[in-house]
Chains A and B, each alone.
Chain A
Amino acid sequence: MDRLALDVAHLLAGGLVLVSFMLLYQDRMTGLVNNFALHALVVSLSVAWQAHIQHAPHLYITAAIALIVKAIVIPLALHRIIVQLGIHRTIETVVGIGQTMLAGIGLVALSIMVMLPITAKAGTLTQQDLAFALSVLLLGLLMMISRRNAVSQVIGFMSIENGLILAATGAKGMPLVVEISVAFSILIALIVIGVFLFRIRERFDTVDIHALHQYRGEQL
């Protein structure tokens, strides 16, 4: 049982890293949002599995929030936004996909090299979970800086948050209230960013943040 629990937890955490790579690779808007829904689904499964093996029923609530909000509500909202903005075409990347993937692999290696020695005293489960969580986090950051489109930056931001949830549930004893407040702050961030996206589009007829540059007043 113990062995199986560990293996499944690894499978799910590793799966999350894999989906993060898929996010990096995906260059169509609709696909990206679907991928993000998958990302959230894997996180909620992983959290639920942690709840099961840690016998921590409050984690089921976290899993449910992740499932409902991030795997269903937010992707649906993003789909609506994309359709309304009319940008369900390809998205540009700054660096080529290949280089981005290579950088991502480097980041995963880095986070494993950092995390494994530091957490040597913790249990195997926590140790590997933290390494995977840091990878997801760095990949999300990489996505945020390698994309131009505001919508994909939002998705990168939320994938970072998924990495944080993974780290938080891997460590035992995280209070429920922290997770709930994090989840709600993400939801609110989405609403705010969504409103902003529309405002930006109304003003400048695009959501490509490069276009905003020339409007900055204080530029020398």
Chain B
Amino acid sequence: MSTMDKKKFTYYPGCSVKGTNRAYDMSTRSVAGALGIELSELDDWNCCGATAYMAIHEKRAFVLSARNLAIAEKEGLELVTVCNGCYLVLNKTNKYMSENPQLQAEIQKALAAGGMNYRGGVKVRHFLDVIVNDLGEEEVRGCVSRPLSGLKVAPYYGCQISRPFGEIDDPEDPQMMDRLIEWLGGEPVPFALKAKCCGGMMMTTQPEIGVKLSGNILKCARDQGADCIITACPLCQINLEAYQDTINDAMGQDCSIPILYFTQLMGAAFGINQKDLALKDSLTPVEELLTEKVYNS
């Protein structure tokens, strides 16, 4: 593989990133551009079959993922996603297919009914993994024009990026964003709840539980003196940013803190303009924080 190919990927945005979390999509594309990473969007992709779907239909969820993998296979590149849920289920489909020949045959038969074929083996990557483990320190530092000097950042990984397979990071104490924050000139705070569950869908379906789980995460970051939390998953992002008033009431204390995608933080350190990072989309004072501490410093 040539150096050029190393930076070419097929890109799977996922449903969340096309809706309420479009700022993640925009900032990802902007940051990729600055780093010379070429992302071409997967043609006519469908839902990956994540968590809620798999809870009702398992094999059907695998077929949904496999349809995306089949389309990606034709491109011959690795498939990159920015959503932890998509990342896990696409990987899980590959793994279960390769370990269970009968399942593989059933999935292939279903794909064939819709005129597709997947031989297997399209490598699925998280964008964070590509940045930290493929590009690495030197390339990232080389793009920094506005170092995040003095900015204390709590890296929130969520669940499904390093668990259950733990192939790209430690399942209990992931480090990718911690390292990235340092490369950007900032300071990662020790963050005990960095990989504890935010409550996922339960923020809507069982708010009394979701509010507690997300509340603990916000409180932990505040207690560590963080200026903001960065996320690597659209569902984590919305849970942490959208319910802070409710969380403050429930926790009986102020847990408010700006929440942004790790790609927005990178973009700011790269000096990318605020519009291309969609900072205005934020429900927390991200724009104010970055203007004061990064853009005008």
Same complex: no
